[in-house]
Amino acid sequence: MGVSGTILIVTSIFAHRGYHVEWPENSVRAVAAARDIGADGVEFDVWLSADKYLIVNHDRTVDGLAIPTTSYAHLRSKRDVAQLGDVLAAAGHMRINVEIKSTRSAPYNRSAAQAVAAFLDASPVSDQCLVSSFSLDVCQEVRRTSTTRRVGWLVTRRPAHAVLDQVVTSRLTSAHFAFSRVNSSVIDRARDLGIELHVWTPNLRRDIDRMLDLGVGALITDDVVLAQELRARHLPTSK
């Protein structure tokens, strides 16, 4: 049941950086593995290289090379890094959460937001994609560039209710909180405002269970299999 006790919320389960039990996180194979085990969605991180390639990687650097100031060819000479298009192709029918990584450079952030928005708008899986970022400026730029794109603001320490109000003001569609920040009050406020709530990254049984009890919209986890098992126990059984 949802928090109100009257609405059943079926929480979507997203694989955090792909399903990286056997394969490197943020790799094409990790995304394909998430698809193969039946995850509802996948989350991964994107940077813009110096020559405008969209690189899927969590850290700002690849073997000591800063992605924003390095060419794709040079990065690839160090390690096999995936491009956004390759990862999207591996996602199949999953929902896709593209997290845009930001820097302290406003021009870089604007360019990255515009590049990702344009790439997704032209993609055959565009309707499956949402964009998220810790940078509110990046989120707002995506919305300016792609007016119908689903966009979520990632937050850590800001007051939850103020975040939800800002999401509405910026015409975003979701708020993405660390799971420890979410309680029934936050859930109720998000529902009142029509905001989808995503939480990251509960991996322990008790934490996943609590998020399922609360009825969050999406749960981003490293343990997709456990989350699937726990969700199945929360669904009503037919008599």
Judge whether residue 239 has pLDDT over 80.
no
pLDDT at 173: 98
Q: Is residue 104 part of a domain?
A: yes
The number of beta carbons lying within 10 Å of the beta carbon of residue 91 is 23
pTM across the whole model: 0.94
Q: Is residue 137 part of a domain?
A: yes
Q: Is residue 226 part of a domain?
A: yes
Which residues span the domain enclosing 87?
A: 12-234
pLDDT digit string, tens, across residues 32-58: 999 999 999 999 999 999 999 999 999
pLDDT digit string, tens, across residues 81-126: 999 999 999 999 999 999 999 999 999 999 999 999 999 999 999 9
Q: Is residue 5 part of a domain?
A: no
pLDDT at 237: 64
* Three-state secondary structure call for residue 35: helix
Q: Is residue 1 part of a domain?
A: no
Q: Is residue 107 part of a domain?
A: yes
* Pair of tokens at residue 167: 């999401």
Q: Is residue 6 part of a domain?
A: no
CATH of the domain at 154: 3.20.20.190
pLDDT digit string, tens, across residues 199-230: 999 999 999 999 999 999 999 999 999 999 99
Q: Which residues, in sequence order, are CB contacts of 28 under 8 Å at separation 6+? A: 82, 86, 87, 90
Q: Is residue 239 part of a domain?
A: no
Domain count of the fold of the chain: 1
